[in-house]
Amino acid sequence: MKMRSIAPMRIAKIGYVIMSLIFCLVGLGFILRADLGTQLLGTALGVAMIVFGIVKIVGYFSKDLFRLAFQYDLEFGSILLLLGIAVLVHPLHAVNLIVIAMGILIMADAFFKARIAKDARDFGIRDWWFILACAVATGILGMLLMFRPGNSAEMLTALLGVALIFEGILNLTVAIFTVKIVKNQYPDIPDTDYEFIHVRGGKR
């Protein structure tokens, strides 16, 4: 049987790591360099969201060994892609759009990452607790973005920056701890073929 190519899995994992770090850098930019202007920072985030959305969709179809990190990424990648396009189309309204939409998206992603942490524990991955802790912290920040405490634009921008950093860290830990790439991986065997093999082998 022909081995499955690990190229999509490798591309997805490397892309996940790189884009997670970029999210951290963009978040740091929102905290330290708000003077650059919300339009420029919003454009940078919009581009990052589009690229990360594509990476997530690629990850969903890569079929890594554990099937943990990317299991919800078809939906989240598509939403991230569309949201990134919306941010680029309306850069002048970037702050209000990003704060509300990213708050919802970050909180939802944190919920699903908490589920991944539980699945990772069931798989016997020792660092599942770290994923869960990051998911809880990220979810709280996403909730704060949704309710937008205070009316100061500087406060909202800083809070968005912190939330983006935690979102980047969360995705980074999931990619590192749960994406397992092994060489010589066989394609999935359909249930009918699996049953046929076991019948032929006298194991049923």
Position 73 scores a pLDDT of 75
Which of 181, 175, 131 is CA-nearest to residue 15? Answer: 175
pTM assigned to the model: 0.71
Predicted pLDDT of residue 35: 60
Confidence of residue 203 (pLDDT cuts 50, 70, 90): very low
- The CA distance from 142 to 104, in Å, is 6
97 close to 38: Cβ distance less than 8 angstroms: no
Residue 69 in contact with residue 178, Cβ under 8 Å? Answer: yes
pLDDT, tens digit, 9 for 90 and up, residues 65-121: 555 667 777 877 888 888 888 878 776 555 666 677 788 888 888 998 898 888 888
Tokens matching residue 100:
């509300």
Looking up tokens 């099937």 gives: 67
Question: Alpha helices of the chain — where are they, by DSSP H?
Answer: 7-32, 38-62, 73-89, 94-123, 128-147, 153-178, 191-200
